Amino acid sequence: MDPRLVEAALNGNVIELKRLLEEDSLLLDRSSVAVYPETALHIAAMRGQTEFVRELLKLKPDLAARLDKGGFSAIHIASANGFVETVRELLKFSRELAILKSSDGRTSLHCAVVTGRVQVLKELLGFRPDSLREVTLTSETVFHLAVKYNQFDVFKAMVDLSKQINITDILNAGDEDGNTVLHLAIARKQSQVVKLLLGGDGSQLKALVLVNLTNKSGFTALDVSDVIHQMVGEPTDFMLRDLLLRAKALRASEVQHVEPAQVFLHRQISVTQLPPETSTPPTLSQFLLSHLKLLNPLTLLKTLAEEVKNSPAQTQNALLVVAVLIATMTYQAMLSPPTGASSKTSVSSKTGVSSKTGVSSKDNDDQDCSDQGYYKNFLNFLPFMVPNSIGFFVSLTVIILAMDEFPLKALLGIAVRCMGASYICGLLLIGPRTSYNGVAGKAQTFTQFGTVFVTDDFITERADPNSPEVGRAQGMYVTAGLDRLDSHVMISIVFTNKEYSGSTLEIQGVSKQFEVVREVSVVAGTGKFRFARGYATFETYSYHVPTHHAVIRCNVTVQHY
C-alpha cells in the first residue's frame, strides 16, 4: 500500500486522499486487489477517523466488508476500540454490517462486548436489535462472552436494552459444551451476574432463567457449584449456593424431567435436555476432564490478571504489600529453616571395603549417614519446605500480576524472576545433603556418591552364560558422580583360555550410566598385550530386576606389540 495513503488514513486527511486520487485514480483499486494485511478503511477505523471512513465508503463501497489479515472488518475494529461515531457511520452505510462475521465467527457486537464498549453496544443494537441473537463458532452468545470476559456492566446494559425483546431462549442457550450463562457465572464465581439472573438484586430475569438445565456433562448449575466448592472452597460459594437454592435449583439426580428450551438462534443453539432417569450421571472426574480447559494454568493466569487489573488501585496496592510480605517471610524461612527440618552438613566416616557388596560405613555418633538416616532427614524437611515454597512462588506470581501497570515492569519482572531462581538455588544448597571428604557421606545423595564396588565376574564368548569362558573381569568401580549417576571404572580383563591365557588388559575411565554405549580407555596390558592402547565399550544387553543380574556386552579395540 502507498505509504502516503497509509499516512492520510492514520491522520484522517481527506484532502490528501483526494489529492492522491487525482494523481492516481486507481490507487484504491490497486490497494484492494493487492494482498495487504489491512486496507485504508481498516487503518482509519482503528484511529476513529470518521470523516475519512465516510469518504472511503463513497469512493470504494466494497471495502466495508473486507477482512484484514486477522480476519476482522472495519466495523469490528471500530467497535472493539469504542469509536461510536465511526461505528454509526458504517451502520448508516449498511445495517448488514452489524451481523457481518469475522473469521472466528464474531460480529461487531461480540467485539464490543469483549472489550466492554457499552456505548458501541447501544449503537449496534439500535440499528440491528436482532444482532443480539448472533453466536460465535463455539456457540457462545453475547451473554456468554460478557461472563467469560468479566464484563458485568455490558451484561447489565444488554439486559436493560433487550427489555422489549424476548431473550428467554438466549439466556438459556448452551455453548458448545452445553453450558448456559448460569453455568458459566457459577463456575467463574461471578456473584453479580448470578444475582442479576436469579433476582437477587430485584431484577425480573428470575422468571426467564431455567435453573435446572444441564450441560453436556449432565450437570445442573447446582452440581457445578458443588464441584467448584469441593475444589476451592470460598465464602462466595455459600452465597451463590444460597441464591441457587432460593431459585429452587436442583441437582441432576434430583430432577425427574425438564423440557428443553426452544432456542432459535442463527447457529441453531440447543439446550441439552436432562438425561433419562435410567442414565448414570457423570462422575466428578468425568466432569473435570470435560472442563479441563477451565483448569488450564494459562487460562487461570489470564483470569487472575484480569481480576487484578479490574480491581481498584487501593486494592492492588494492598495486595502488593501483602504479597511482598509473604515473599520476604518465606524466603527468610528457607534461609533459616527450623531446627529438625535442616540437616548437618559436615560428615566424617571410617570406610571399609567388602567384596561384591561395596562399602560398609561407620559414621560419628552425632550424624546418621545411613540411607535410612538420609531419608529420615528428607522426610522431616519436606513438610516444611513444600508449603513454604508454594507460598513463596504464589506470592511472586501475585507480585508479577500486580506490576502489570508499573513503569519499568520489564526490569522489575527480571528482578522478581531472579529472586525466584536464587530461592531455588538456596533450596538446593540448604536442603538435606552433605559435603564430602573421601567417600564419606555416600548414603546422603541419590547417586550414592563414593560407594565402592569390587567385582570378579566371568566373561563368556556370547550372552549365554553357558557359552565358553574367555576370562574374568576383576577390579572395582566407584560411584564418582556427585549429581550424576557416573562411575569410575578400574577393571582388569584376565584371559583364562586359548592363546591369550595369562594376558591382561587394563581398563580405566568414566562410565556414564544413562548412556546406551559407555566408552572407556584401555590404558595398558600384559603378556601378549604389552604396551596395549585402545578403547572398550560397555553396553547393557539384559538386566534381571529381581536378582540384579546383568549381562554386559564388551567390545575391545587395541593396538599392541
Name the nearest CA neighbour of 182 among 155, 154, 153.
Answer: 155
**Residue 307: CB atoms within 10 Å:** 11
pLDDT confidence of residue 398: 85
DSSP 8-state class, residue 130: G
pLDDT confidence of residue 77: 93
DSSP 8-state class, residue 54: H
Cα dihedral 473/476/478/484 (nearest 10): 0
| Secondary structure class of 259 (helix, strand, coil) | coil
Q: What CATH class does 1-134 carry? A: mainly alpha
d(CA 250, CA 213): 9
Cell 440447543 identifies what position?
A: 270
d(CA 302, CA 304): 5
pLDDT confidence of residue 235: 64
CA–CA–CA angle 156, 162, 168 (5° rounding): 95
pLDDT confidence of residue 504: 93
Listing DSSP states for 282-303 in one string gives: PPHHHHHHHTGGGG-HHHHHHH
pLDDT confidence of residue 297: 65
pLDDT confidence of residue 378: 64
Name the nearest CA neighbour of 253 among 224, 277, 230.
Answer: 277
CA–CA–CA angle 387, 393, 396 (5° rounding): 140
| DSSP H stretches of helix in 12-68 | 14-23, 27-33, 40-47, 50-59
Assigned CATH topology for domain 166-292? 1.25.40
Burial of 228 (0-12, 13-18, 19+ CB in 10 A): buried
Who's near 99: CB < 8 A, 6+ residues apart? 107, 128, 130, 131, 134
d(CA 208, CA 473): 85
Q: Report residues of the chain scoring pLDDT below 70.
A: 31-37, 164, 200-204, 231-236, 256-300, 309-313, 339-378, 405, 431-448, 545-546, 548
d(CA 505, CA 15): 93
Q: What is the pLDDT of residues 353-411, one digit of tens each?
A: 333 333 333 343 444 444 444 445 667 777 888 888 898 888 888 888 887 767 777 88
Ramachandran region of residue 340, left (φ > 0), alpha (ψ -120 to 50) or beta?
left
pLDDT confidence of residue 364: 39
d(CA 12, CA 48): 9
d(CA 277, CA 550): 59
For residue 244 the three cell numbers come to 441457587
Taken in order 437, 442, 447, 450, the sign of the CA dihedral is positive
Q: What is the pLDDT of residues 395-451, one digit of tens each?
A: 888 888 887 767 777 888 888 888 888 888 887 777 665 433 444 444 444 456 778
pTM above 0.85, yes or no: no
Cα dihedral 505/510/511/513 (nearest 10): 170
DSSP 8-state class, residue 472: E
d(CA 536, CA 534): 7
pLDDT confidence of residue 443: 47
Burial of 462 (0-12, 13-18, 19+ CB in 10 A): exposed
